[in-house]
Amino acid sequence: MTIEVQASDITQDGSIKLTVDGKAITFVKESDLGAVKAQLKDKEGEVSTLQTKLADSVTKADESHQDVLKERASKKTFEEEAGKSATLSTEVEGLKTKVADLEKVGGERDTKLTERLRGILTTGYKIDGEKIKDMALDALEQTERTLILTGVTPTPAKYDGGGGGGGDTDELKGKSALALATMGYAKK
């Protein structure tokens, strides 16, 4: 196949533009082609370097994005925990108040029980009040247990106060409980 070129087909840079089978084809000088190939090799190196840098940048961006997501999750968890902490603080304060109230009531009851036990020991067991005035509840209870274990019995309490009297006691002797009750109701 022979192709003829006319002067009008040659461009100023020395390339030739032809149409072959309906397709435009450009022929260039071999020296120009070598220069273009050398430039392309340099560009390939640059492209390769840029692709490596781009891949590194994408990796760093992904890592940064993951760090941001982790920080957001941590912040959300922290906020949730802070909310729980505030709720727990409120509950703790309420419980502290209840404990203080219970301790106050318990202290009052301990004091009453201590005084009652001192009274039992001084009146029932005839212990000198000065000897037990500074004893705590536990010591008073231990003293009472010791007295019971040693066989000491308390003196029964006198509820009538030693007063009263309103009649002849000989009249009551030998009567049954029912008869005494009947007499008592009859006098009123």
Over 80: is that where the pLDDT of 62 sits? yes
pLDDT digits (tens, 9 = 90+) for 117-158: 999 899 888 899 999 999 999 999 999 999 889 888 887 766
Between strands 23-27 and 16-20, the pairing is antiparallel
Sole residue written with tokens 């007063």: 163
Rounded Cα distance, 83 and 89, in Å: 10
pTM of the model: 0.39
- What pLDDT does residue 45 have? 81
**pLDDT band for position 165 (cuts 50, 70, 90):** low
Q: What are the tokens at 20?
A: 């072959």
